[in-house]
């Protein structure tokens, strides 16, 4: 497996450093399989180096899809410096054009660093679900995802993309969990207040990078565009595959009266009364959303197109009708609880505020 390290240059650029050069696999005479960023065959455009991501027969026959069959003389010791537009604001994303998938993205595949606050959560038996990075020391997810775990068995991975390999342009970061906080009113049957806060050790925060950023939290009474939301995360079933990319899907949040009406008809019965703790999201019936996802964040654009965490999946998706219907914990409602828990631990909440 390839070893990457991330260095921040004084110019504000990021550089990927590669180790174990002797472990490169041969793919022809004086050629070897190397990560795309370490092959000098590429294009300079406006002062930026773009690796050649076209696929040749040698690439297909010998190399991983994230590798290039590169001439030994063209292999770089370190990758070209990339001029990432780094940001200190929550809810902003990396320029996705810097890292195009060599084979192209399939319809539901999330691009590299498209949602840089997405965190993969692992437990004692492997991958559990997805969460959202709201502070360098805090990840938010659904309580039902982690209720059977202890803090000792949990670990968090930020900056992950293809979970099957370590060939991404920038390395992921793995952290332990110091404290696991389920919402005090959480119940499984009936499912209510389905929220959990995972806190990292004070001395081991996630280090923000172009592909690891915070998502904004919705202010109380803030009205944002519910028609252009997304969900994203990994599927449990994909973790036995050679390619394990996060999936994404566009959704729209239903007005509260429509949400209540659909829930009465589809899931909860005619006596159900919707309260402020839940949101409904609908959209096309996509296979990605009809599998066991554990938990995934619902993200909506807000001020200046910066993404906010609107919800976390609270109930399984219904896919037995022509349209898909899913239920999410309303993060706006839970802001006081989240803010309080972070403040009690002297954690700064300003970075996730708009």
Alpha-carbon span 333 to 311, nearest angstrom? 10
pTM: 0.81
Tokens of 346: 């002297």
What is the pLDDT, as a whole number, of residue 40? 85
Query: Which neighbouring-strand residues pair with 33?
Result: 25, 69
Q: Calculate the CA dihedral of residues 198, 214, 300, 106 and round it to 10 degrees.
A: -90
User: Which pLDDT belongs to residue 323?
Assistant: 66
Report the C-alpha gap between 87 and 68 in whole angstroms: 30
**pLDDT at 317 (0 to 100):** 65
Q: 73 to each of 4, 36, 169, how far by Cα in Å?
A: 21, 15, 21
pLDDT of residue 41: 80
Number of C-beta neighbours around residue 235 at 10 A: 21
pLDDT at 227: 74
Residue among 248, 240, 247, 223 nearest 301 (CA): 223
pLDDT at 179: 98
Question: Tokens 């969460």 appear where?
Answer: 131
Do residues 25 and 35 lie in contact, with contact meaning Cβ atoms separated by under 8 Å?
no
Domain annotation for the chain: domains and CATH numbers: 4-74 (no CATH), 118-215+335-352 (2.40.10.10), 226-330 (2.40.10.10)
Low-confidence ranges of the chain (pLDDT < 50): 1-21
pLDDT of residue 99: 53
């Amino acid at each position: 497996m390839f070893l990457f390290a991330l260095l921040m240059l004084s110019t504000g650029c990021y550089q990927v450093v590669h180790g174990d050069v002797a472990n490169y696999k041969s793919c022809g005479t004086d050629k070897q399989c190397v990560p795309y960023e370490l092959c000098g065959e590429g294009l300079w455009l406006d002062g930026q180096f773009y690796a050649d991501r076209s696929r040749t027969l040698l690439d297909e026959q010998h190399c991983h899809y994230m590798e290039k069959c590169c001439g030994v003389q063209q292999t770089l010791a370190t990758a070209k410096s990339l001029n990432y537009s780094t940001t200190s604001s929550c809810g902003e994303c990396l320029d996705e054009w810097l890292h195009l998938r060599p084979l192209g993205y399939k319809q539901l595949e999330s691009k590299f660093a498209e949602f840089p606050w997405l965190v993969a959560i692992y437990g004692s038996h492997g991958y559990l679900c997805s969460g959202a990075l709201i502070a360098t020391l805090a990840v938010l997810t659904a309580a039902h995802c982690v209720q059977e775990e202890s803090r000792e068995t949990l670990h968090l991975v930020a900056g992950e993309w293809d979970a099957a390999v370590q060939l991404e342009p920038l390395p992921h970061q793995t952290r332990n969990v110091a404290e696991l906080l389920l919402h005090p009113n959480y119940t499984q049957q009936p499912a209510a207040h389905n929220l959990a806060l995972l806190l990292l050790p004070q001395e081991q925060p996630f280090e923000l990078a172009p592909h690891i950023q915070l998502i904004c939290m919705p202010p109380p009474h803030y009205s944002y565009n519910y028609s252009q939301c997304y969900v994203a995360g990994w599927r449990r079933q994909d973790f036995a595959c050679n390619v394990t990319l996060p999936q994404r899907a566009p959704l729209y949040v239903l007005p509260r009266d429509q949400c209540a009406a659909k829930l009465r008809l589809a899931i909860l019965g005619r006596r159900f009364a919707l309260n402020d703790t839940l949101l409904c999201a609908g959209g096309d019936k996509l296979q990605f959303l009809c599998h066991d996802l554990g938990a995934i964040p619902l993200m909506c654009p807000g001020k200046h197109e910066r993404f906010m965490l609107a919800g976390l999946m609270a109930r399984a998706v219904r896919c037995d009708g022509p349209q898909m219907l899913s239920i999410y914990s309303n993060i706006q409602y839970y802001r006081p609880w989240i803010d309080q828990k972070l403040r009690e631990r002297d954690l700064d909440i300003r970075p996730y505020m708009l």
